Amino acid sequence: MKNNNSIHTWLPMVGLLLGTLALGFSSLFVLWAKAPGMVTAFYREAFACAFTALPIFFMTRKEWPLSGKHVIYAAIAGIFFAAEIALWNTSVFMTSAANATLFNNTSVLWVGLAAAFIFRESLSYKFWLGITTAFVGIVIIIGSDFLQHPKIGLGDFLAIIAATGYAVFFLATQCSREKLGVLSSFWISAFAGALFLLPVCLLSGKPLTGYPPVTYWSFLGVALVTQVGGYVAINYALGHLPATVVSSTVLLQPVITAILAAVFVGQPIVPNQIFGGVFILAGIYTVHRSRIKKPKSAPLEQEITRSLEEA
């Protein structure tokens, strides 16, 4: 804890809980939009860019000129993130919101495997124990879903493929952050993602207009509540709370999504989700704990404070 003041004691925890709740609403916004997955992904990125462009410009102008190489890294991250949310949004309509969110959280597993096989990092037995545990849970859920209906199992697989895209996004973002601030990297990534998705939507014949008002409100919600609010709140919490507390709390996201989906869209929570979900979350937690390192860059809240002081 960086400040003993009582406000600084409870406010970060509130931010963490609200941020996790905001992420949990992501799949519900997708369901409420009732639009093709890539269209919702486009508006998520585009609205996030539009509503944050001016404040981010003023808070980061001291960083200019930006490193071209690291701008490219951020753009690559944005393209993979755009592809990831387009696939994930599609999976939400094929499987349950809880399953899609749960499998999307397996991205930490793919990052770890990339570290082992591509970057030749030496990983502990805890990492491999976590990987094995998580994959047991994946097999439990996907196996029972395929038996229930092949389309549901396919939706599960699509969410896992989306998680690998998020892993690439994470690695590329890590590279971009060597020279770019958090806010610059965030905006460039979102802008590149929107630019990537626009022609993809047009070439695939997915309409960008003609939707009812509730759809556009859902687009706005997933952009501002999840894309901006969720991640800002969680990164704010990282500036005041131990990383282990934050990461462990964020793992509640699939649980929160399952509850929200049951309440708001009537999706039941079935035994195989609970049983397999416990294995997956335990595996993710074990993998994460095996790879915790002291962060090299300032959290988002510190970036914002520093930028405001320089403005």
Q: Where are the domains of the chain?
A: 6-310
Distance CA 48, CA 40 (A): 12
236-278: per-residue pLDDT in tens?
A: 776 677 665 666 677 777 888 888 888 888 888 778 778 888 8
pLDDT for 51-83, tens place per residue? 998 988 888 888 788 888 889 999 999 999 899
Q: What is the pLDDT of residue 244?
A: 57
How far CA 188 is from CA of 170, 180, 193, 198, 222, in Å, comes to 14, 10, 8, 15, 18
Cα–Cα distance measured from residue 87 to residue 81, given in angstroms and rounded to the nearest whole number: 10
pTM value? Answer: 0.79
Q: Are 177 and 185 in contact (CB under 8 A)?
A: yes
Structure confidence at residue 296 as a pLDDT band (50, 70, 90): very low
The predicted-structure confidence for 130-189, as pLDDT tens digits, reads as follows 878 888 887 787 777 676 766 677 888 888 888 888 888 878 887 887 888 878 888 999
Nearest to 280 by CA among 155, 135, 164, 152: 135
Q: Report which of 45, 121, 138 is spatially closest to residue 84, judged by C-alpha positions.
A: 45
Instruction: Name the residue type at position 134.
Output: A
d(CA 294, CA 304): 20
101 vs 36, which has greater pLDDT? Answer: 36
Burial of 268 (0-12, 13-18, 19+ CB in 10 A): exposed
